[in-house]
Amino acid sequence: MSRIFNADHGLMRWRKSRTWVIACLIILCALEISGCSMMGKPPTEALANAELRLRAASEARAAEFAPMDLQSAREKLEGSKQAIAAKRYEDARRLAESAQVEAELAEVKAETEIMRRAAEELQKGIDALATDAERGSRKSLSK
């Protein structure tokens, strides 16, 4: 009787340990999956910032005055989106941050170029006025 009981007990123990192993495996799998997604969330904020900055750069006529920086920013934004699709969230964040800062640079460069040209135009206008005035005074002197 006790022997039967013992055998039964052994079987139960074996079954128990098997369920434990399976449970552990399930937990491990769950941790693996959730751990992956917990370690890296899609960098939505960084991406949104980069997109905003790129739009601002376009508005500042960066396509005309800082095309290389704008192009590079666009490529990095595209790369960031692809990295998100491939669930490489760290890469995606870095690419979005790089895109943002490059777009910012493109914007400032474009603004600077526009300002510089405006200053040049103004200088030309003043020079023209000065030469006109000079000619005028010479004319009045020669008369």
Which residue ranges make up the site for another protein (CB under 8 A)?
A: 90, 94, 97-98, 101-102, 104-105, 108-109, 111-112, 115-116, 118-119, 122-123, 125-126, 129
Closest distance between another protein and the C-beta of residue 118, in Å?
A: 6
Between 30 and 96, CB nearer to another protein: 96
The two structure tokens encoding residue 44: 């939505």
Q: Round to whole Å and give the CA distance between 46 and 40.
A: 13
Closest distance between another protein and the C-beta of residue 107, in Å?
A: 9
Q: Round to whole Å and give the CA distance between 71 and 105.
A: 12
Between 47 and 105, CB nearer to another protein: 105
3-state secondary structure of 41: coil
Closest distance between another protein and the C-beta of residue 28, in Å?
A: 27
Q: Round to whole Å and give the CA distance between 33 and 65.
A: 46
Residue with tokens 């920013």: 73
Between 8 and 59, CB nearer to another protein: 59
